[in-house]
Amino acid sequence: QVQLKESGGGLVQAGGSVRLSCVASGRTFSNYAMGWIRQAPGKEREFVAGISGNGGKLYYKDSLKGRFTISRDNAKNTVYLQMKDLKAEDTAIYLCAADVGGTDPPQFEYWGQGTLVNVSE
């Protein structure tokens, strides 16, 4: 079992930046990939970014490359999502996810509760 807890969401103005954090527990953190998925109001969930266990492989939704950066600190059991130049269409609940199965690209089995990022214009 893996438990995930996100933080860092809130209200931000368009053009601004925010960093989300997710702390994991339950398994050896460096052994599994992590990622971020988002769900906007009235829309399906979509993949945002992923990172391998050692941080050596990164995955991004193509349209978010350059604005979003995923990283991890294995000593802190934490994965981050740095978002910049935010737009109204980035408004969503952002969920942290874990892939313990070792697939490439990651296929997530565990999910956090999510944190809301609300971008105002």
Q: What is the mean pLDDT of the chain?
A: 96
21-27, long-range: CB < 8 A, 24+ apart: 21/78, 21/79, 21/80, 22/78, 22/79, 22/80, 22/81, 22/96, 22/112, 23/76, 23/77, 23/78, 24/77, 24/78, 24/79, 24/96, 24/98, 25/77, 26/1, 26/2, 27/1, 27/2, 27/100
State residue 103's pLDDT score.
86
Res. 102 pLDDT band, cuts 50 70 90 = confident
Res. 116 pLDDT band, cuts 50 70 90 = very high
Give the pLDDT mean for 13-42: 96
